[in-house]
Every structure is written in C-alpha cells, then in structure tokens.
A and B are shown apart, each in its own frame.
Chain A
Amino acid sequence: DADVTQTPRNRITKTGKRIMLECSQTKGHDRMYWYRQDPGLGLQLIYYSFDVKDINKGEISDGYSVSRQAQAKFSLSLESAIPNQTALYFCATSDKLRAEQFFGPGTRLTVL
C-alpha cells in the first residue's frame, strides 16, 4: 500500500467552483507539504505544516487554503478555482530527523 495517498487523482472543474484535494499518509511523519508543478517551473511550495497546530504559507499561497485535520491528513482547498490553477498538485511528508521528503502520486487538476 502507498505510504502517501492523494484523492482525487484527476479532476476537471469549472471556474468559480470550490475544490478540495486530500492527502493522507501512513508514514507517521509530522511534517506535510503541498506543492504545485507547472511545465518549466518546477515544484512550487503552496503551504506546509510542521504539526497539527502549525500551518505556514509557502511561495504561492494566494487563492489556496489548507486544513490539517490530523497528523495523517492535510487538505488543500481552492475556494474559487480559476484557469491558471490548472496544474499537477503534489502532497509530501517528512519527519523531523530526516530531511528527505516523500511525495504522493499527484492530482492533475484542470480548471475550465
């Protein structure tokens, strides 16, 4: 079974709709991250959380919000989706001791 899972894997929606992307992990890590990836731009950090009560904005948080419901769950919301939020979204986890981040399989989001 995958250690980091994301749902949905693919989503097509319309401008103005509210969308939630979910991430769950069984690795027992306390740190979780949301990234988006666009062709030619690499991975950009949206939000990150070092524990349930610690939420931090990343480089491109405008238009996004997050919720850390439990140590194992970290959700990303787009309150009112717009076409330039079309991208591949990755969730990642890490623990305090090791610097390595483990990535989920990604969610491909298309906003029409």
Chain B
Amino acid sequence: GQNIDQPTEMTATEGAIVQINCTYQTSGFNGLFWYQQHAGEAPTFLSYNVLDGLEEKGRFSSFLSRSKGYSYLLLKELQMKDSASYLCAVRVLPRSNDYKLSFGAGTTVTVRA
C-alpha cells in the first residue's frame, strides 16, 4: 500500500503565503497530484508533478523531490475563497499500462481576514 502524510489543518491570513507539505512512501511512483476540495463539493485538479522541480500556475505552485518522497503546494496571495481542503495524491503503476491514485487525508486550510 501507499503511505501519504500531510498536515491535518493550517491557518493563514488573507494575502499571506501558505506551504502544504506532503510526504509519501510508495512503490511504482508515477507522479503526484494536488487537488482542491471545498466543503461538500467535488475535488478539482490543481497541479501534477512527475519530474523533480517546481511547477508554477498563477498563485499556486507545486514542488516535487522524488528522491526524498516529498512534495509541497504553495499558495500565494491568499484569498478567502482559498479556504478548502487540499489533497495530495500519488499515482502508482502497479502493472503495465495500469495506474491508480492513492490520496492523503487532506489538509484543511482556513484563511482569516
């Protein structure tokens, strides 16, 4: 199985920066996803990293280090609407031409005025 760890909760102020860390131990690693999920709603895709390094997309950036089994999601210029749960998910390839996602429990981010 996969072991994916991320903090349960984080709180930050509007306009600030928050970094959500995710560590994983897995076999057959084939990429890491970040999803955003507002309460009671479906998860929506934020980013995908398969190679080491930083991927930037507007106010959100995601970093991956495969050798360390580590990723982070960076949220800049926080807005109230960024209050949500952020899910780290690891894509694994248990057999040829087959993959599935394993999700962490999620980090609930609360943005305060």
Contact = CB atoms under 8 A, between A and B. Distances in A.
Given A100-B33, A106-B41, A40 B105 contact: yes
B1 to A, nearest CB: 7
B103 A48 contact: no
A16 B99 CA distance: 34
B42 A59 contact: no
A7 to B, nearest CB: 14
Contacts of A45: 100-102
Interface string B97-109: 0111111111000
Contact of B101 (A101, A102, A106): A101
Contacts of B44: 103
B8 to A, nearest CB: 8
B87 A43 contact: yes
A100 B100 contact: no
B104 to A, nearest CB: 6
A99 B43 contact: no
B100 A99 contact: no
Interface in A65-112: 90, 99-106
A99 B48 contact: yes
Contacts of A103: 42-44
A104 to B, nearest CB: 6
Interface of A: 33, 35, 40-45, 48, 50, 58-59, 90, 99-106
